[in-house]
Homo-oligomer: A and B are copies of this chain.
């Protein structure tokens, strides 16, 4: 069994982006990081993104409206960033306070600055295999982990557990594409699936993104499979200071010995999302520059 080291792979990508950005003529790529309020998890996520920007040489513009901002005021913030030629990418940190319509805010972001890859047009481009779009960071990170771990997908069976718009569906569409490091046969399973273990046991590559702690057990896995664990679940743990520990959607202690390769939680898919956000921002900068 080989651990897929997401921290190392993410760092490699950040190093590559740093070299690429250093060689870009003109102004540096710029991402606007919009965080509403002071939710502790959001504060921590945005700090990580800010740090990655600093490491690479991407300009980050920090916009921290108060938690009392109205929908229309937040729309106005997004509209201003959409119109600003010095801003390449816009990230609005999720979750937004409950009085704001998150989907409507995400849709307000111009597709060509949508480095989170949530825009309808970018999802359509993913289905159409149109490379000018942006792919959501988590599924893009999964594919990059597999590619850089030399896991060949062509003709092999990828089983995706979960059909969310942010992970399951785009991961399935990516694995299905007609291109190197894709061309997989793809099955999408979910909460309504009958005979789930019989299906997951067929997976050469199993992507678990169902949001249930330690849901995937040894009996659900084929020996030699590659396991990508997208879950981040808090499980009560009295032995920890915090009172909880993080686990994935996979029961690591029993599944890992069966797997040929597996991602840990934390340190697997997680670090890749920030690296992919940075990659999308550099791509946006190059595309927006060419369009002008």
Chain A contact residues, CB within 8 Å of chain B = 119-128, 130, 154-157, 163, 165, 169, 172-173, 176, 178, 183-190, 192-194, 199
- When A120-B124, A169-B173 are in contact, do A187 and B190 touch as well, CB less than 8 Å? no
The answer to whether B127 and A165 have CB atoms under 8 Å apart is yes
Give min CB distance, A217 to chain B, whole Å: 19
Copies assembled: 2
The answer to whether B154 and A192 have CB atoms under 8 Å apart is yes
The answer to whether B199 and A185 have CB atoms under 8 Å apart is yes
- When A124-B120, A124-B121 are in contact, do A185 and B193 touch as well, CB less than 8 Å? yes
- Provide the main secondary structure of the chain A interface: mixed
User: What are the residues of chain B within 8 A of A169 when measuring CB–CB?
Assistant: 127, 173, 176
Q: Which of A126, A173, A192 has the most CB of B within 10 A?
A: A192
Question: What residue of chain B has the Cβ atom nearest to residue A199's Cβ?
Answer: B185
Q: List 26 A-B contacts (CB under 8 A).
A: A120-B121, A120-B125, A120-B128, A121-B121, A121-B124, A123-B123, A123-B124, A123-B128, A124-B125, A124-B127, A126-B127, A127-B127, A127-B169, A128-B165, A155-B194, A163-B176, A172-B188, A176-B188, A176-B190, A183-B190, A185-B187, A185-B188, A185-B192, A185-B193, A185-B199, A187-B187
The answer to whether B176 and A185 have CB atoms under 8 Å apart is no
| Bound form: Cα–Cα A277–B163 in Å | 28
| Bound form: Cα–Cα A175–B284 in Å | 33
| Bound form: Cα–Cα A281–B121 in Å | 22
Q: Which of A156, A183, A187 has the most CB of B within 10 A?
A: A187
